[in-house]
Amino acid sequence: MAELQFREAIRDAMDEEMARDEKVFLMGEEVSEYNGAYKVSEGLLDKYGFKRVIDTPISELGFAGIGVGAAMNGLRPIVEFMTFNFAVLAADQIINHASKARYMLGGQLNTPIVFRGPNASAGQLGATHSVAYDSMYAQFPGLSVIYPSEPDDAKGLLKSAIRNDDAVLFMESEQMYGLKGEVSDEEDYIIPIGKGKIKREGDDVTVVATGKMYHIAKQAANELAKDGVEMEIIDPRTIKPLDIELIVESVKKTNRCVVVDESHPFGGLASEVGFLIQREAFDYLDAPVRRVTLPDVNAPFSKPLFDLWLPGAKNVIDAVNAVTYRN
């Protein structure tokens, strides 16, 4: 095991895959000469040259389209967005082409492309730069959505994503790039897409959280453990396909569930998990499933409002107390 930053784990994954397969290339704003806006691609230009580490103009729709075209023609592009908030401009390429080309052309070609970059809010960046897109993209057939929470997951899953023959959205976070964690030094470390992980075992409540929210859940777990409440934290890691079996098994043990979701409440990961649990584990529920999400309000800029807006450990603790009938 080696301790790596989240950004290093992502770089290692890209580096290994680029070394393994010359069809893999990276492009995006500032990825090449500047070594990445968040230094994720640091060193890749030196190693692979301008042909495989390509700086693009500030034109998301344009370079996403180049990526989709390249994928259709047999390459394996990694398209970096400076944030998924900017990828809205490329949504036509992602939603209408990357996800549907193989389907509409009867399987005559594949779109092995990874769109990656930071997702959701990262402090006071204003309403248009603070949106979580994981649940939205999970709506679309033909797209896989990954939102890892720790460097180890990021490395294993990004390697899987690059090798995947259909389009994958790989979500990161500006606030997590510096996060350090043990990363497996197993050669060719692969985590299959669609496999969740029990990150903390407990008997009292199942808490589902991924990405940045996993760390919020972990804080809540540490607090609640002092009161003798043991949270079981499941990190699905992949939003879609979702490892609902793992979640349901856990809920059958704990009888209660809280989903922590960085999206707005309507039709997101939390509502999907809640629905599936009531369908698959109805008789095992001792309380209605609770969720912790953003409010149905755009991100505020003001610091006090922003802090209220973003889910924190306190919200998770309150939800756990509610489903365990404490108070």
List 129, 150, 172, 262, catalytic entry: 129
Q: Please, what is the minimum distance in Å from the beta carbon of residue 46 to another protein?
A: 45
Q: What does the H/E/C string look like for the chain?
A: CEEEEHHHHHHHHHHHHHHHCCCEEEEECCCCCCCCCCCCCCCHHHHHCCCCEEECCCCHHHHHHHHHHHHHCCCEEEEECCCCCCHHHHHHHHHHHHCCHHHHCCCCCCCCCEEEEECCCCCCCCHHHCCCCHHHHHCCCCCEEECCCCHHHHHHHHHHHHHCCCCEEEEECHHHCCCEEEECCCCCCCCCCCCCEEEECCCCEEEEECCHHHHHHHHHHHHHHCCCCCEEEEECCEEECCCHHHHHHHHHHHCCEEEECCCCCCCCHHHHHHHHHHHHCHHHCCCCCEEECCCCCCCCCCHHHHHHHCCCHHHHHHHHHHHCCCC
Nearer to another protein, 80 or 204 (CB): 204
Decide if 60 is catalytic.
Answer: yes
Nearer to another protein, 4 or 205 (CB): 205
182 contacts another protein (rule: CB under 8 A) = no
Q: Please, what is the minimum distance in Å from the beta carbon of residue 324 to another protein?
A: 9
109 contacts another protein (rule: CB under 8 A) = no
Q: Please, what is the minimum distance in Å from the beta carbon of residue 202 to another protein?
A: 16
Q: Please, what is the minimum distance in Å from the beta carbon of residue 276 to another protein?
A: 8
| Number of residues forming the site for another protein (CB under 8 A) | 11
51 contacts another protein (rule: CB under 8 A) = no
Using CB under 8 A, which residues numbered 113 to 152 contact another protein?
141
187 contacts another protein (rule: CB under 8 A) = no
The sheet carrying 24-28 orders its strands as: 53-55, 24-28, 76-80, 114-118, 168-172, 144-146, 238-240
Q: How many CB atoms lie within 10 A of CB 186?
A: 10
188 contacts another protein (rule: CB under 8 A) = no
95 contacts another protein (rule: CB under 8 A) = no
Q: Which range binds another protein by CB under 8 A, 82-90, 188-196, 285-293, 295-303?
A: 285-293
List 17, 60, 172, 272, catalytic entry: 60
Using CB under 8 A, which residues numbered 1 to 30 contact another protein?
none
Nearer to another protein, 104 or 305 (CB): 104
Amino acid at position 231, single letter: M
Give the span between the Cα atoms of 85 and 146, in whole angstroms: 16
Using CB under 8 A, which residues numbered 255 to 284 contact another protein?
255, 276, 279, 282-284
Q: Please, what is the minimum distance in Å from the beta carbon of residue 284 to another protein?
A: 6
Q: Please, what is the minimum distance in Å from the beta carbon of residue 263 to another protein?
A: 18
Q: Please, what is the minimum distance in Å from the beta carbon of residue 225 to another protein?
A: 20
The residue within the footprint of another protein, chosen from 3, 165, 286, 307 (CB under 8 A), is 286
Nearest 5°: CA angle at 85, between 81 and 91? 75
Do the bridges between strand 114-118 and strand 197-200 make them parallel or antiparallel, or are there none, so unpaired?
unpaired
Nearer to another protein, 142 or 312 (CB): 142
Decide if 223 is catalytic.
Answer: no
Nearer to another protein, 55 or 230 (CB): 230
Nearer to another protein, 31 or 319 (CB): 319
Catalytic site positions: 60, 129
Contact footprint for another protein (CB under 8 A): 141, 255, 276, 279, 282-287, 325
